[in-house]
Amino acid sequence: MNKPVYILGLSCYYHDSACVLIKDGEILFAAQEERYTRKKQDESFPNKAIQAAFDSTGITIEDISAIGFYEKPFIKFFDRILRTTFKVWPRGLMQYQYSMQDWMTKKLWIPQSIRKELNYKGDIFFIPHHESHAYSSFGVSGFDNATIVTVDGVGEWATATIGRGCSEVPSAKCQVPNSGTWNLPLGPELETEGELGTSKPVQTVKILKEIHYPHSLGLLYSAITYYLGFKVNSAEYKVMGLAPYGKPKYLEKMRELIDVKEDGSFALDMKYFTFEHGLRMTGRSIEKLLGQPRRKPESDLGQFHKDIARSLQDMTEEVMIKIVTHAKKIAPSKNLCLAGGVSLNCVANGKILRSGLFENIYVQPASGDAGGALGVALAIWYKQFNGKKLYQMNHSYFGDEFSDDEIEKCLKKEDVPFLKLSYEGLIDRISTLMEGDNVIGWFQGRMEYGPRALGNRSIIADARNKENWQKVNLKIKFRESFRPFAPTVLEERIGDYFDLDRPTPFMLLVADVHPDKRDEIPAVTHVDGSARIQSINREQNQKYYDLIKAFEQKTGCGVIINTSFNVRGEPIVRSPEDALNCFLNTHMDYLVLGNYLLTKRDIPEEKVLKQKDYLEKFELD
Amino acid sequence: MDCPKLLKTLWHAWCTFSNILGRVMSFIILTILWIFVFGVYAVILKILSIPKLWKKPPDTYWVDPLSEVPNGMRHQF
Ligand SMILES: [Fe+2]
């Protein structure tokens, strides 16, 4: 019998480190390190996540056939970083000091770190950052061919790429219009040259065009996020949530920051940005251009800030539409795969979908750098092992799981009263409790991979009650009041509520709520009438689906609020202990851990609401 | 063998001191490099790039990706 091929993909040392373990092309485990260290977007070597991967699958480092790292460190340092240092000299001394020490002591020693941390002696592979992104989406899209667009802050040099994915026989030649020939698999819409090979088809990605640093749509978004007083690389989604409150009054000013060509390529006017040479993203010039100083973090948000957010969002959507339009021309396909941090911008994704340019769009749930771990593992599987094509990844439940015994042990240790229910009893009880203003912590099964909680580490509530919006924002998540909530909807009822004709299991598409339904589900309808939708079917998550179905049978409403199980600045909970801590220190009414139910009013007073200490543990984002 | 408490304190103090000293030395050495090595090369590069100032802006900002070295996945470059 052949020995199975285990591949470990790693991303770390920038932000959001993660590991992914695949066996013969099947994803066995995927998780971000932050969930274990409890430090949001932790960038450290994902030791704990790797250990959890081994524990959950019962393998050891000896079983691993290959390890992949999600970028090319030497190109990044010796080419991009050093060249930028020369370019900005004599400015940038402090950035140079930081980055030199960081690179010399850590980031230039990736193979050594991997071997030392894991006691590993086998092969280590490296692929370019954006190729990791491309594989992370196309490799699990299930498509035979696709146009691939990746957009993020920066990888080595690339900040945005257009690529082509094929699932065909190696050794045939693909001819892509305007892009020359390469020895690669065929896509049905490509012209052929030469004879087809005889080996089996593989999924292959070819990057055709790139935009290079410092010109970056992701860094523009981060720079304005910084200007608006939010945390860079973390709070960009707040700007996206703030945008609908504003008007695009500063769109023309945005055009001064970024020159966009008709083919979607763009260049930043670097006089407005300081990230090339400073430790901050923007300086005085942008304040002069936009007319106001940078907002102090945690200070009041005015209409000006909302208008800036809206203008930036509109600009981003305009650029993304132009990029995908051009991408369709140079790498034509009816399928589009998106990846990179910017493709977490679900409002832009929704616009791309509605543009009608592509029949199918696939965005993988861990689209940011955590997804690079998946991308490199898949690249190794396809390129080094000629591995079989994976089915479409349609759920993200690849993390830790806790048995009833483990949950009960935790509850007994913490000495809190609980009730154990049967599956049916639990579904019936919780669907009843959800009616009205109860807010429930819902902890089940395997943890989600990627930044979204999709029904296993979620806080849920009734979407029909508008009060729940503010209750969850202010009393449970302790976050800004403007932040909207996302709905989970039964897959078969998407069309009844939303202007959307397909499933969206990863909360990565925004669409309008039908005008006649906005009053029915006000807690998940944003001010502009839109919603960031997660659809669910029974195959993806049986318990979560059954819960919403039972709620629908009782109330007629097939939509609930779903937000991540954490407070502001805290990574999403991983274990029953994390969930219990979060529950005890917030105004959540009920907690469901597996089949165990905890009621807040039954918990002894001395155990609850020491939230000041709890909240202080997490740095605000 | 248990280390006497005084020695342990001394050892910690020495480690803290050497850590601080290391940081200061790194800062000084890197700054010297910054001025004399990076500075000279940066000035040469700046002079060599003067003709680029008259280059007209491109029609597109899309560029071709860097070419891959043979057996590229095994390398960090
Ligand atoms: Fe990235």
Max CA separation in chain B (angstroms): 74
Does the distance separating the beta carbons of A86 and B63 come in below 8 Å? no
Rounded Cα distance, A499 and A531, in Å:
10
Residue A217's pLDDT band (cuts 50, 70, 90): very high
Task: Kindly list the residues from chain A whose CB atom is less than 8 angstroms away from the CB atom of residue B27.
Answer: 97
Q: Tell me, what's the pLDDT at A198?
A: 42
pLDDT digits (tens, 9 = 90+) for A546-594: 999 999 999 999 999 999 999 988 999 999 999 999 999 888 999 999 9
A259-269: average pLDDT: 96
Say whether pLDDT at A194 is over 80: no
A247-274: average pLDDT: 96
A194-210: average pLDDT: 72
Using a pLDDT cut of 90, give the percent of chain A over it. Answer: 81
Say whether pLDDT at A191 is over 80: no
Q: Domain extents for chain B?
A: 5-72
Top-confidence residue, A613 or A317: A317
Interface of A with B in 490-509 (CB under 8 A): none
Q: Domain extents for chain A?
A: 404-618
A489-515: average pLDDT: 95
A517-542: average pLDDT: 95
A76-87: average pLDDT: 92
- Those residues whose C-beta lies under 8 Å from the C-beta of residue A96, and which sit 6 or more positions away, are A85, B30, B34, B38
Domain range A404-618, CATH class: alpha beta
Tally of residues, chain B: 77
- Closest partner residue to A110 (CB to CB) among B34, B74, B76 is B76
Q: Tell me, what's the pLDDT at A181?
A: 39
Chain B contact for A110, CB < 8 A?
A: yes
Question: A551 C-alpha vs ligand 1 centroid, how far in Å?
Answer: 39
Chain B contact for A157, CB < 8 A?
A: yes
Q: Tell me, what's the pLDDT at B70?
A: 78
Question: Quick one: closest CA in B to A68, which residue?
Answer: B73
- Those residues whose C-beta lies under 8 Å from the C-beta of residue B33, and which sit 6 or more positions away, are none
Name the 3-class secondary structure at A536: strand
Does the distance separating the beta carbons of A73 and B76 come in below 8 Å? yes
Helix (H) or strand (E) holding A68: strand A64-69
For chain A, give the mean pLDDT.
91
Residue A377's pLDDT band (cuts 50, 70, 90): very high
Name the 3-class secondary structure at A554: helix
pLDDT digits (tens, 9 = 90+) for A126-144: 999 999 999 999 999 999 9
Say whether pLDDT at A62 is over 80: yes
Rounded Cα distance, A148 and A163, in Å:
5
Say whether pLDDT at A253 is over 70: yes
Which ipTM value was assigned to this complex?
A: 0.86
Give this prediction's pTM.
0.91
Contact A361, A353 (CB under 8 A): yes
The upper half-sphere exposure of residue A190, i.e. CA atoms within 13 Å in the direction of its Cβ, equals 30
Say whether pLDDT at A256 is over 50: yes
Chain A contact for B38, CB < 8 A?
A: yes
CB atoms within 10 A of CB A262: 10
pLDDT digits (tens, 9 = 90+) for A328-359: 999 999 999 999 999 999 999 999 999 999 99
A430-454: average pLDDT: 95
Q: Burial, B32: exposed, middle or buried (Cβ in 10 Å; 0-12, 13-18, 19+)?
A: exposed
Q: Tell me, what's the pLDDT at A409?
A: 95
Chain B contact for A261, CB < 8 A?
A: yes
- Those residues whose C-beta lies under 8 Å from the C-beta of residue A237, and which sit 6 or more positions away, are A344
Residue B53's pLDDT band (cuts 50, 70, 90): confident
DSSP character string of A447-510: PBSSS---SSEEEEEETT-THHHHIIIIIIS---TT---EEEEEGGGHHHHBS--S--TTS-EE
Q: Tell me, what's the pLDDT at A475?
A: 75
